[in-house]
Chain A
């Protein structure tokens, strides 16, 4: 039996074993989310984007997290109101590391928590009046804000508040000011994912469709592109942007890390939308393609192999001058990536990784690990859809364990059995695996490091993976006098 066939059998046995712990009905439902990948298939063959089972400890968040936390929150010169009780805004306050440059509290508001702090009377009598007053108070105290979004928490949709009417009224009152009501109540949908979609739709409806296209006196060039779906975690969008500019392109907007409202407004003038996080922003990219005829292209800026491939793919949309410069960029960074690989590959060669993340990362980072001689033996999406799993087949090898919306129990058992050299997941998972003596990196927040995108980011990525795996602490976890 070949190695991969063996992996497939062990993987299938492992899944079977894990499912035994569930009540019968739940085991049946979970079985559809777990599989061992077979090379050559065009799909991972798992169910996805359906409801999590109650009580199983899903890693998933909610629509509010997808809208406020992911899409809207990073737009720095707008104020995003967490509309409802205090908690949602508190727990998501500045925790996602969407870097930006600006004077916080004056012309930028990214690391602040604006909330309507709902009380019982707001639930009973409705919160619309309070919302109106909040907008008035914002206009007095934060006069340089360039727009307001209303991020609905669970109660808003349940008590029948009309935030759209409030937004409309206040927009009129403040001379056409951009005020965006977002129906991202946490109970909508099955994960963050619907929140992304809802947020995308509100950008379409309240930015594209409402704002005067001539507002910004924007002069277009043939080389204008927009970065879509990069949240600038630890500066990712910056270490990406620098490459695009070196290629000769003009990045007219960042969606949404370090983004501003003017950048959103001007995006329909781009010649090409380049899309990193497909999951969270494919909706608006498709819309711009349909409405404004802007093509979009997916790219991957993790690790030199994928970066090189992506740079050429993007350059393919432009003339020879761009293509030439792109080759120069690739050549320019070759020495850096060779040196990074030479330094770290010997230390990381053959190390096995298990991932469980959101967005694009369960597939996108695989190439970067492979550039370092590492192997991804298990991966899964927190809130992926079928099109994500289809795309994943281009990345994963035969025998890779695939787990959609993994539960705490499954993940622990999988790692226990597979014994990877590294687990990459989130803060909720980090300490579980470190207790088990397994090296871990947070692959949402880059574990407070980063950037990981682009050539500059790859060096940091390599350093961090080495730091995690070859940390001397892992030699200390076994107590010498205990058998």
Chain B
């Protein structure tokens, strides 16, 4: 027996004790009927080969370890960005349990969201009663200012008309007639979580601008000098939105952040649970129609919303998750152009500091090879930044990126000498990435938490940037946008490079001549 009250061993060490190791070996040998060791070894090696890669890339139907989630997740994200808003997902209830868990594991925060809990009878007769009762219950219990409705694939497959259902529910008194219930269809079998974000955000904006589903006259645009900002589906929303506010404040710009869950996903522990906190006010959402222009930080994540805003007469500035010097320059110069205001001196100094930091560290970045995967806009931003650092983004993969996205990545790669021999992989998954890492190895991998399996299998050190990050804490509190945010990204990358350098040179009397005290 290895366990003792003095030194309690948990799963990290308990199962390495001899009595457990012996037990595991016996279980395997006597009861698991394992594949012969030589077959196992042979297959392990085979999966590392070009032959396996070819077969792996020939896949047409199977997806293994994708880097994307489904639409309603993004819809819940978007709803959570509005003042006092309760996300309401119409369909099966298990989905909502999954979205809430998923966000809570990333942000380490509560995520409130309700389901209309449809079951077999609703599959046959439609979910009207679920909508009627669901809105009434949610409204009575949780007293939201607004309920934002989206749908699961179940409701979409059976074709529930949620617009009509909401109207009927209002007639039945579930919520007051004038109560705001924007909605969006968010079928899980189209696009990904970023599509759901886009649809749901557009649903909310459309509700306020276009006459609340035909119940009031549409608003008439009276242009003013305000600027709208839309961040897109963003795992760093807590840190990023605060950083963006700081930048806008330095410019002294009137602005509306359309969808801002940065407070809802960062409430204090002070004895009170705040189900709602912060967020874009409903009034500001309506008034955003009158803004001079809208900055869209992740265009691919906000395609339809951007088009909707443009159709209402506003200029839209399309960005792709800018990270780094040139990316942030563009953001600030666009802000300056639109508002006619000079770029504040303090931000100019921050730019210089970022350039200073890059210059200080570039010897360790130059020519380093990277593989990266994640949402399409994030990939464009990071690819541009890596090229700026003199690093080589060899494999750029996005499960929810399409051909257009790949062309955009290719254009970035073609424009830089560091982009030679680098490629974009649209619609591929992390099992494809595994083959890429074995057949064309790189120095580092950038991705979300699931990349740790690739790190383990291929020994490519993982730098955690993306969504979700489950196994490191508080990263979402630090921005990755603006010059300050870019500095955070730079340091995150450098920390891993230096850690690996030390790990690789700490062999006593073998490699530790390079175990330098100054790097």
Name the residue on B nearest A118 (C-beta): B189
Name the residue on A nearest B88 (C-beta): A55
Specify which chain A residues have a CB less than 8 angstroms from the CB of B187 in the assembled complex.
Answer: 85, 120
Inter-subunit contact A104/B453 (CB<8 Å): yes
Of A2-10, A40-48, A152-160, A359-367, the one with at least 4 CB within 8 A of chain B: A152-160
Inter-subunit contact B31/A260 (CB<8 Å): yes
Inter-subunit contact A336/B5 (CB<8 Å): yes
Given contacts A112-B64, A158-B158, A187-B119, contact A55 B136 (CB under 8 A): yes
Least CB distance, B493 to chain A, in whole angstroms: 26
Inter-subunit contact B120/A85 (CB<8 Å): no
Inter-subunit contact B23/A105 (CB<8 Å): no
Specify which chain A residues have a CB less than 8 angstroms from the CB of B117 in the assembled complex.
Answer: 51-55, 58
The CB with the most chain B CB atoms within 10 A, among A90, A138, A455, is that of A90
Inter-subunit contact A113/B104 (CB<8 Å): no
Specify which chain A residues have a CB less than 8 angstroms from the CB of B24 in the assembled complex.
Answer: 101, 238
Least CB distance, A50 to chain B, in whole angstroms: 10
Of B91-99, B362-370, B504-512, the one with at least 4 CB within 8 A of chain A: B91-99
Name the residue on A nearest B3 (C-beta): A456
B73 on the A face (CB < 8 A) = yes
Inter-subunit contact B269/A134 (CB<8 Å): no
Specify which chain A residues have a CB less than 8 angstroms from the CB of B409 in the assembled complex.
Answer: none
Given contacts A154-B154, A266-B31, A412-B273, contact A87 B98 (CB under 8 A): yes
Specify which chain B residues have a CB less than 8 angstroms from the CB of A54 in the assembled complex.
Answer: 114-118, 130-131, 133-134, 137
In the complex, A358→B32 CA distance in Å? 29
In the complex, A238→B11 CA distance in Å? 10
Question: Which residues in window 129-185 of B have CB below 8 A to A?
Answer: 130-131, 133-142, 152-154, 157-158
In the complex, A25→B173 CA distance in Å? 13
Q: What total of chain B residues lie within 8 Å of the partner, measured CB to CB?
A: 109
Inter-subunit contact B40/A26 (CB<8 Å): no
Question: Which residues in window 17-70 of A have CB below 8 A to B?
Answer: 21-23, 25-26, 51-65
Tell which of B20, B93, B142, B450 touches A60, judged by Cβ atoms closer than 8 Å: B93
Interface membership of chain B positions 118-129, coded 1 if the CB is closer than 8 angstroms to chain A and 0 otherwise? 111011000000
Least CB distance, B80 to chain A, in whole angstroms: 14
Specify which chain B residues have a CB less than 8 angstroms from the CB of A133 in the assembled complex.
Answer: 60-62
Inter-subunit contact A106/B47 (CB<8 Å): yes
Inter-subunit contact B62/A432 (CB<8 Å): no
Inter-subunit contact B32/A77 (CB<8 Å): yes
Of A198-206, A318-326, A346-354, A433-441, the one with at least 4 CB within 8 A of chain B: A433-441
Least CB distance, A145 to chain B, in whole angstroms: 10
Interface membership of chain A positions 409-450, coded 1 if the CB is closer than 8 angstroms to chain B and 0 otherwise? 100100000000000001110111111110000000000011
A333 on the B face (CB < 8 A) = yes
Inter-subunit contact A431/B110 (CB<8 Å): yes
Specify which chain A residues have a CB less than 8 angstroms from the CB of B20 in the assembled complex.
Answer: 238, 242
B345 on the A face (CB < 8 A) = no
B517 on the A face (CB < 8 A) = no
Specify which chain B residues have a CB less than 8 angstroms from the CB of A86 in the assembled complex.
Answer: 63, 66, 68-70, 188, 192
Least CB distance, A236 to chain B, in whole angstroms: 10
B407 on the A face (CB < 8 A) = no
Of A92-100, A289-297, A306-314, the one with at least 4 CB within 8 A of chain B: A92-100
In the complex, A115→B114 CA distance in Å? 26
Specify which chain A residues have a CB less than 8 angstroms from the CB of B8 in the assembled complex.
Answer: 340, 459-460, 463
Specify which chain B residues have a CB less than 8 angstroms from the CB of A134 in the assembled complex.
Answer: 61-62
Interface membership of chain B positions 243-258, coded 1 if the CB is closer than 8 angstroms to chain A and 0 otherwise? 0000000000000000
In the complex, A130→B60 CA distance in Å? 9
Give the interface size class of chain A.
35 or more
Specify which chain B residues have a CB less than 8 angstroms from the CB of A138 in the assembled complex.
Answer: 62
Specify which chain A residues have a CB less than 8 angstroms from the CB of B5 in the assembled complex.
Answer: 336, 339-340, 342-343, 459
In the complex, A266→B8 CA distance in Å? 35
A116 on the B face (CB < 8 A) = yes
In the complex, A118→B27 CA distance in Å? 38
In the complex, A135→B7 CA distance in Å? 48
Inter-subunit contact A189/B100 (CB<8 Å): no
A451 on the B face (CB < 8 A) = yes
Name the residue on B nearest A430 (C-beta): B104
A483 on the B face (CB < 8 A) = no
Specify which chain B residues have a CB less than 8 angstroms from the CB of A451 in the assembled complex.
Answer: 10-11, 14
A241 on the B face (CB < 8 A) = yes
Specify which chain A residues have a CB less than 8 angstroms from the CB of B95 in the assembled complex.
Answer: 62, 87-88, 186
Specify which chain A residues have a CB less than 8 angstroms from the CB of B19 in the assembled complex.
Answer: 242
Tell which of A58, A77, A158, A430 touches B93, judged by Cβ atoms closer than 8 Å: A58
Specify which chain A residues have a CB less than 8 angstroms from the CB of B269 in the assembled complex.
Answer: 434-435, 437, 473, 477
Tell which of A105, A122, A140, A216 touches B457, judged by Cβ atoms closer than 8 Å: A105
Specify which chain A residues have a CB less than 8 angstroms from the CB of B157 in the assembled complex.
Answer: 123, 154-155, 158-159
Tell which of A95, A99, A266 touches B101, judged by Cβ atoms closer than 8 Å: A95
Name the residue on A nearest B187 (C-beta): A120
Inter-subunit contact A333/B119 (CB<8 Å): no
Inter-subunit contact B100/A186 (CB<8 Å): no
A143 on the B face (CB < 8 A) = yes
Interface membership of chain B positions 1-29, coded 1 if the CB is closer than 8 angstroms to chain A and 0 otherwise? 11111101111001100011001100110
In the complex, A111→B192 CA distance in Å? 22
A107 on the B face (CB < 8 A) = yes
Specify which chain B residues have a CB less than 8 angstroms from the CB of A113 in the assembled complex.
Answer: 64-66
A407 on the B face (CB < 8 A) = yes
Given contacts A62-B95, A144-B35, A408-B112, contact A117 B271 (CB under 8 A): no
Specify which chain B residues have a CB less than 8 angstroms from the CB of A186 in the assembled complex.
Answer: 92, 94-95, 154
Specify which chain A residues have a CB less than 8 angstroms from the CB of B88 in the assembled complex.
Answer: 55
Least CB distance, B269 to chain A, in whole angstroms: 5
A141 on the B face (CB < 8 A) = yes
The CB with the most chain B CB atoms within 10 A, among A51, A234, A426, is that of A51
A268 on the B face (CB < 8 A) = no
Specify which chain A residues have a CB less than 8 angstroms from the CB of B6 in the assembled complex.
Answer: 339
A355 on the B face (CB < 8 A) = no
Inter-subunit contact B32/A84 (CB<8 Å): no
Inter-subunit contact A23/B153 (CB<8 Å): no
Specify which chain B residues have a CB less than 8 angstroms from the CB of A153 in the assembled complex.
Answer: 153
Inter-subunit contact B190/A428 (CB<8 Å): no
Specify which chain B residues have a CB less than 8 angstroms from the CB of A93 in the assembled complex.
Answer: 65, 450
In the complex, A92→B105 CA distance in Å? 12
Inter-subunit contact B134/A435 (CB<8 Å): no
Inter-subunit contact A87/B141 (CB<8 Å): no
B220 on the A face (CB < 8 A) = no
Inter-subunit contact A333/B1 (CB<8 Å): yes
Question: Which residues in window 225-284 of A have CB below 8 A to B?
Answer: 234-235, 238-239, 241-242, 245, 251-254, 258, 260, 262-263, 266
A468 on the B face (CB < 8 A) = no
Least CB distance, B290 to chain A, in whole angstroms: 34
Given contacts A118-B189, A133-B60, A340-B5, contact A55 B116 (CB under 8 A): yes
Tell which of A101, A157, A234, A407 touches B11, judged by Cβ atoms closer than 8 Å: A234
Tell which of A130, A241, A407, A428 touches B104, judged by Cβ atoms closer than 8 Å: A428
Inter-subunit contact A59/B97 (CB<8 Å): yes
Specify which chain A residues have a CB less than 8 angstroms from the CB of B114 in the assembled complex.
Answer: 54-57
In the complex, A245→B420 CA distance in Å? 60
Name the residue on B nearest A132 (C-beta): B61
What are 9 contact pairs spanning A and B, CB under 8 A? Answer: A22-B141, A118-B189, A187-B120, A333-B1, A427-B104, A432-B110, A437-B269, A456-B3, A456-B14
Known A22-B140, A153-B153, A435-B268; 10 more pairs at CB < 8 Å: A26-B133, A56-B138, A62-B93, A87-B188, A131-B61, A155-B157, A189-B120, A427-B104, A437-B270, A456-B3
The 10 nearest A-B residue pairs measured at CB: A62-B94, A87-B70, A54-B134, A55-B134, A91-B98, A339-B5, A85-B188, A55-B138, A133-B61, A55-B137
